[in-house]
Structure formats: C-alpha cells, structure tokens
C-alpha cells in the first residue's frame, strides 16, 4: 500500500491533517480503509468493476435499503458516490460505524445479522437502480481456489494432502457454485460476503446494526448469505446453540433463502459446501508461504471437504 | 464414502444424533470413534425407560440437535460434543468469524 494512497484516503475521510489523526482500519489486497474520525474512506480492489460498484453504491443509498445497508456519503465525482484514484481504483466515503467486538463472538449480534439478511432478501431487485449485478459469492470461491493453486502447498506434505481434499470438495460442487454457470432460479438481492466484520452500529455508539461492504452485493442464491455460519456449524466450529439462534431469527423475520420450517439443508448444502471449500482454500493459501501446518480450526474445514467428495 | 469391505457406496443416516454410515451393498455399518459408545448409552437409557409404562406427564423431550449435512463433523448427540464445538477462545476461529 502506498503512502500516497493513504494520504488520499485520509483527505477523503476528512482527517484534520494529511499525516495525522487518521487510522488505517484495514489494508488488504481487496481493499484499504482509512478512518478520519466520523468518516471513513475506502480504496476498492484494483481489479474492481467500477460500473458495477457504482450500481451497488446507488443501491446502498436507495431508500428501500434504509435501515438495512449503511448508505455511502456523496463525493464530488461523476458517479456521485465514487471517485477514481490516480491508478483507476475507485474510492468511496462512508460514515464511521462501530464494529462487532472481536473478543466475544457469543455476544455478537447473530439475531440482528439474521434479521438484516431477511430484510435484504425481501427487497425486489426490480425496484432498485440497475442493472443490478450478480452476487459475487461464487466468483470469490473460484478466486480462493486459484489462490490455493498458486500457493506453494507442495513444500509441506500435510498441505499437499489437504489441497487434494479441498480440490475434491470443489470438484463435487455444481458448476454455478464454481462460477462456471449462471446461478439457477431468479435469485434474490444478497450481500454476498457475510461475516461478523460486515456489521456496524450507526450512528456510533449505539445506533442500529447495519450491513456494510457492498462490493459483492447483487442478485443470486440467497442461501450464500447464510452459508458461512452454516459451514462453521457443520464443521463443528460454531456452537449448535448459536447456529439455532441465527437460523431461528432469520426464519422468524420471514427470510426467504430457506424453507420456513424443517430441515434447511436442501437450500444450504451447496452454498455451505462452497464456503467450506473457499475458507479451507484460503487457509492453505496463507499457511503454505509460511511453511506451517494447518491449525485445528483450519483442519476441521479440510476434514469437511474430504467428506464431500 | 465407499464400503471398505465390498466398495459399494455408503449412505449416511442420523439416528438420535448419532451419524451412521451403512453400505448399500452388504448392509455393513460403519461407526466413527465414540459412536458405538453413544449407541450403547442410548440403548441403556431406552431399556431403563422401557419397562415402566410412560408416565402421565412425560418429561419434555431434550432439545434436538439441529439438522446437519452428511459431510459435517461427526457429533454425538446433544450431550457430549467432545469439546469441538465453540472454539470460543480459539484465536484462529475468532479471526475466521471476521474475515472474507
């Protein structure tokens, strides 16, 4: 990440000075986020589809999503919500929201997350600014596999075996979940990348919970939004009580991704398998360059992949 | 999974929270570690309960383990999830909860 980009983001986030009083909240290949206090600025991924992002930003700002998605702040630029950095990367501005405390997952707002997803899934895409892009979940799963394949897993024998198990789980998925075919069905409006880092309270400190990060938002298989908690539960990582709370709150709010009663796995099976494979692939992509074996949690996901083939 | 004896496909069934693989060919049954003990425990609970007629007001049924897919981690009913669930203190899972 360049200092020039950080300075540009700090300026956009209205930090008092170019080099002071701003905090880098995240700095990853897929996004850099800088906070200047009440406002944050985000540099999106360099290969981000700016036209699709512009639609996603207009959706987040749309009154229909009020109370569900954090709306972006306007910027001075042709699209109204994004400006381009020198290298073409889109930059956006957002109000600062208070994230979930990372030290106590049990106290995390699982029910609020479920209710927000149910509300999101109920929005008719036809009523929104368009063209509404496809949800990017399957594309991100395919990208995770590509990262694993280019990582030096062959250097560690246990990682070689684990990569084989992940490939087996990947091969057993239907083509749409591997981003090789369009998703079946008309699809619902979905977030596309739900985890506990995608919730903030706004206004700070005690405003309502809202979903953030619209980079993967779009029309698709809504079970994808429930698939991370489902995958964690299925792999024995998330307590069954927490899974029951999350699923129960989603159903109580009228969530449409799963049948209202009974076994939800007919709808969740494929997305949860895809997220299990994706998470295991990323764990391998990170462990391989460090030359370390997988830890207990990562191994639980690889074991699940091995049982899918 | 294939049957280790006759190599026919094995199907997974869930009985009272115990996951059982049965071969479609020779009908052989495969039990994971601890599952025989779970079945034995369930059987002894059943035989203890069976002789007297059911009481007028039976105790409420224990909360069922939520439905899980066949590829999920083996679990052992609602009593002893052998410490695998809720790695609440596990830093690796803590990070996973918050990352893409």
Q: Is B13 within a domain?
A: yes
CATH superfamily entry for domain A97-309 = Aminoglycoside phosphotransferase (APH), C-terminal lobe (3.90.1200.10)
Q: How far apart are CA A224 and CA A235, in angstroms?
A: 16
- Residue B9 in any domain: the answer is yes
Residues forming a β-bridge with B18? B15, B76
Do the Cβ atoms of B84 and A300 come closer than 8 Å? yes
Query: Residue B84 falls within a domain, yes or no?
Result: no
Q: What is the predicted pLDDT for the residue at B91?
A: 82
- Residue B87 reports pLDDT greater than 50: no
| Span B13-35, average pLDDT | 70
Structural domain count, chain B? 1
Cα separation of the two ends of chain A: 39
Which one of B72, B88, B94 has the shortest CB-CB distance to A235? B72
Q: Which residues of B touch A240 (CB under 8 A)?
A: 65-66, 75, 78, 81, 85
Number of A–B residue contacts, CB under 8 Å: 96
pLDDT tens column, A62-95: 999 999 999 999 998 777 999 999 999 999 999 9
What is the per-residue pLDDT for A49? Answer: 95
CATH of domain A1-95: 3.30.200
Q: Which domain holds residue B13?
A: 1-48
Domain ranges within chain A, ordered by starting residue: 1-95, 97-309
State ipTM: 0.89
0.90 exceeded by pTM: no
| B100 within domain boundaries | no
List Cα–Cα distances, A255 to A35, A121, A267, A281, in angstroms. Answer: 33, 7, 12, 29
Mutation to test the A interface, candidates B14, B63, B66, most A Cβ within 10 Å: B66
Q: Write the CATH number for B1.
A: 3.10.20.860
For A242-298, the pLDDT digits (tens) are: 999 999 999 999 999 999 999 999 999 999 999 999 999 999 999 999 999 999 999
Distance from CA of B86 to the nearest CA of A (A): 5
Among candidates A277, A171, A187, A261, which has minimal Cα distance to A228? Answer: A277
- Classify residue B30: in a domain, yes or no: yes
- pLDDT, residue B89, reads 52
Give the distance from CA A38 to its chain's centroid.
23
């Amino acid at each position: 990440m360049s200092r020039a980009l950080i300075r540009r983001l700090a300026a956009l986030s209205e930090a008092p000075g170019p080099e002071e009083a701003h905090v880098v909240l995240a700095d990853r290949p897929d996004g850099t986020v800088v906070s200047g206090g009440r406002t944050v600025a985000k540099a999106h991924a360099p290969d981000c589809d700016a036209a699709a992002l512009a639609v996603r930003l207009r959706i987040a700002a749309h009154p229909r999503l009020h109370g569900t998605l954090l709306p972006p702040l306007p910027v001075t630029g042709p699209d109204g919500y994004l400006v381009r950095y020198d290298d073409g990367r889109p930059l956006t501005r957002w109000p600062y929201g208070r994230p979930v405390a990372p030290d106590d997952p049990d106290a995390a707002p699982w029910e609020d997350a479920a209710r927000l997803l149910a509300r999101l899934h109920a929005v008719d895409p036809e009523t929104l600014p368009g063209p509404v892009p496809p949800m990017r979940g399957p594309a991100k799963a395919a990208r995770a596999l590509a990262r694993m394949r280019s990582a030096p897993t062959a250097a560690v024998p246990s990682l070689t075996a684990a990569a084989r198990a992940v490939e087996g789980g990947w091969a057993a998925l239907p083509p749409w979940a591997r981003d090789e075919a369009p998703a079946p069905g008309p699809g619902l409006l979905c977030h596309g990348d739900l985890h506990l880092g995608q919730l903030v309270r706004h206004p700070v400190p005690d405003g309502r919970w809202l979903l953030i990060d619209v980079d993967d938002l779009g029309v698709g298989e809504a079970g994808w939004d429930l698939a991370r908690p489902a995958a964690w539960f299925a792999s024995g990582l998330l307590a069954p009580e927490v899974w029951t709370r999350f699923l129960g709150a989603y159903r109580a709010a009228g969530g449409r991704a799963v049948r209202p009663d009974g076994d939800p796995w007919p709808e969740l099976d494929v997305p949860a398998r895809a997220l299990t494979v994706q998470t295991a692939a990323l764990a391998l992509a990170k462990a391989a360059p460090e030359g370390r074996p997988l830890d207990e949690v990562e191994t639980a996901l690889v074991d699940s992949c091995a049982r899918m083939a | 999974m294939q049957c280790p004896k006759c190599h026919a496909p094995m199907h997974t069934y869930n009985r009272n929270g115990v996951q059982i693989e049965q071969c479609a060919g020779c009908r052989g049954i495969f039990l994971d570690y601890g599952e025989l003990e779970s079945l034995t425990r369930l059987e002894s609970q059943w035989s203890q309960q069976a002789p007297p007629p059911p009481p007028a007001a039976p105790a409420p049924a224990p909360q069922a383990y939520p439905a899980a897919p066949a590829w999920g981690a083996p679990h052992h009913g609602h009593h002893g999830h052998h410490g695998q669930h809720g790695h609440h203190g596990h830093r690796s899972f803590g990070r996973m909860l918050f990352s893409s």
